[in-house]
């Protein structure tokens, strides 16, 4: 065994957890597993063991654009603030912004992201360096398209470790043509790559679907283009009809629910309870840091639960277990990491250690509820991804250098911008 977590709280009991070759090899009552001379031992005495989160919709390098263009409507925000800055991006800037986003994500106990952004080889390289999981999208978007490096990313496909994979990520129906979306659907079949796209985010998008594309709804339009498939991820889905939800369930698509971005941009409310009743798979995502502005998955999962409960006017609209499973097991599967997202022998070893010495956990009635509803990123002590420690003692390796690099990159982008 390479790694042994001793005497950790897990599902209400104290256990020892052994990890070797990237998988959980044993979970036994505390005090029963013996380390070998080469085993790295972690004391779990003060910690809660949990599955980490898997973030299903991100634009990670937008950490550099955080705070640019507050309080604007989506299209004005994109046109006036975001796209002019993005026009000046380079591969190095995207790497710097992605590193910062991964640091923040790890602090909130998240090991994976589903990225739709430019200079994709840089994103893949950074994710691999920092030891996290990522799905990176080959983009189609008729704005700031100079920075799209689809072919270079596709060329890397045979070399990617199993913690990284690709998908096709046409940006949205309002930044693409019907021909482009239909071509993406064909390419998805040819290359065996899933689809990731923004869908039904705002009422303005619904209007574009009707007026420009003569479709009843954005979801109907995307289906007509052939994009709704069992491994498709639709981000947002604030404006979906009962018919849309039935179709989404039939096709087997997964929703990346982005409650804080939806609230902050006033986009709308994804109807979680209705979606579940229709049989639609739901996961939770932060969206980019320029529209959220936090990348804390703890905060996002809490917001997802709150928005579902408020939207349905019922505390029973979504349970703690359901929201937890959505952001862990369901999300890992949706991102193509089918053997991760669950702490069990034989599963890929992704887990976090949560510091129970903090005030949020003092009462101790339900530590998992305390984690989601009462704590924040300061409680995550250690993060393990595919058997490797990627954050320990609340610090990511090279964290200070990553922050310094991001400060410099953001300052450069800010110069001469509005």
Q: Which residues are near Zn ion by CB under 5 A?
A: 287
Q: Which is nearer to Zn ion, 282 or 391 (CB)?
A: 282
Residue nearest to Zn ion (CB): 287
Q: Which is nearer to Zn ion, 184 or 317 (CB)?
A: 184
Q: How far is the CB of 57 from Zn ion (least distance, A)?
A: 6
Q: Which is nearer to Zn ion, 198 or 281 (CB)?
A: 198
Q: How far is the CB of 324 from Zn ion (least distance, A)?
A: 23
Q: How far is the CB of 255 from Zn ion (least distance, A)?
A: 13
Q: Which is nearer to Zn ion, 27 or 289 (CB)?
A: 289
Q: What is the 3-state secondary structure (H, E, C) of the chain?
A: CCEEEEEEEECCEEEEEEEECCEEEEEEECCCCCCCCCCEEEECCCEEEECCEEEEEECHHHHHHCCCCCCCCHHHHHHHHHHHHHCCCCHHHHHHHHHHHHHHHHHCCEEEEEECCCCHHHHHHHHHHHCCEEEEEEEECCCCHHHCCHHHHHHCHHHCCCCEEEEEEECCHHHCCHHHHHHHHHHHHHHCCCEEEEECCCHHHHHHHHHCCCCCCHHHHHHHCCCCCCCCEEEECCCCCHHHHHHHHHHCCEEEECHHHHHHCCCCCCCHHHHHHHCCEEEECCCCCCCCCCCCHHHHHHHHHHHHHHHCCCCCCCCHHHHHHHHHHHHHHHCCCCCCCCCCCCCECCEEEEECCCHHHCCCCCHHHHHHHHCCHHHEEEEEECCEEEEECCECCCHHHHHHHHHHHHHHHHCCCC
Q: How far is the CB of 221 from Zn ion (least distance, A)?
A: 18
Q: Which is nearer to Zn ion, 16 or 205 (CB)?
A: 205
Q: How far is the CB of 75 from Zn ion (least distance, A)?
A: 14
Q: Which is nearer to Zn ion, 287 or 370 (CB)?
A: 287
Q: How far is the CB of 48 from Zn ion (least distance, A)?
A: 31
Q: How far is the CB of 261 from Zn ion (least distance, A)?
A: 7
Q: Which is nearer to Zn ion, 20 or 204 (CB)?
A: 204
């Amino acid at each position: 065994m390479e790694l042994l977590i001793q005497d950790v709280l897990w599902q209400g009991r104290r256990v020892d957890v052994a990890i070797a070759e990237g998988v959980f090899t044993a979970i036994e009552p505390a005090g029963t597993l013996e380390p070998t001379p080469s085993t790295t031992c972690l004391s779990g005495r003060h910690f809660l063991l949990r599955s980490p989160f898997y973030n299903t919709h991100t634009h990670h390098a937008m950490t550099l654009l955080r705070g640019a263009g507050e309080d604007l409507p989506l299209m004005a925000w994109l046109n006036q603030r975001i796209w002019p800055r993005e026009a000046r991006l380079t591969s190095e800037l995207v790497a710097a912004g992605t590193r910062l986003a991964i640091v923040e994500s790890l602090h909130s106990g998240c090991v994976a992201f589903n990225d739709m952004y430019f200079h994709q080889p840089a994103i893949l390289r950074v994710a691999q360096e920092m030891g996290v999981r990522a799905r990176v999208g080959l983009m189609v978007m008729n704005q700031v398209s100079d920075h799209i490096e689809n072919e270079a990313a596709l060329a890397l496909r045979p070399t990617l470790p199993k913690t990284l994979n690709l998908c096709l990520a046409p940006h949205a129906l309002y930044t693409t043509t019907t021909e482009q979306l239909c071509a993406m659907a064909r390419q998805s079949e040819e290359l065996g790559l899933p689809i990731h796209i923004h869908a039904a985010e705002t009422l303005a998008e619904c209007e574009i679907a009707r007026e420009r594309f003569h479709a009843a709804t954005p979801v109907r339009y995307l289906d007509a283009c052939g994009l709704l498939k069992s491994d498709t991820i639709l981000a947002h889905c604030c404006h979906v009809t009962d018919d849309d939800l039935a179709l989404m369930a039939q096709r087997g698509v997964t929703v990346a629910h982005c409650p804080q971005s939806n609230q902050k941009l006033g986009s709308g409310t994804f109807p979680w309870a209705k979606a579940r009743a229709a049989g639609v798979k739901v996961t939770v995502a932060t969206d980019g840091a320029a529209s959220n502005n936090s990348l804390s998955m703890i905060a996002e999962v809490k917001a997802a639960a709150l928005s579902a409960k408020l939207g349905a006017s019922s505390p029973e609209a979504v349970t703690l277990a359901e929201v937890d499973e959505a952001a862990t097991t369901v999300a890992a599967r949706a991102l193509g990491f089918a053997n991760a997202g669950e702490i069990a022998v034989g599963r890929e070893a992704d887990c976090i250690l949560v510091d129970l010495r903090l005030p949020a956990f003092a009462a101790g009635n339900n530590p998992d509820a305390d984690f989601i509803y009462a704590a924040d990123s300061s409680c995550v002590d250690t993060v393990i991804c595919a058997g490797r420690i990627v954050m320990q003692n609340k610090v990511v390796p090279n964290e200070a250098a990553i922050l310094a690099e991001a400060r410099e990159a953001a300052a450069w982008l800010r110069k001469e911008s509005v």
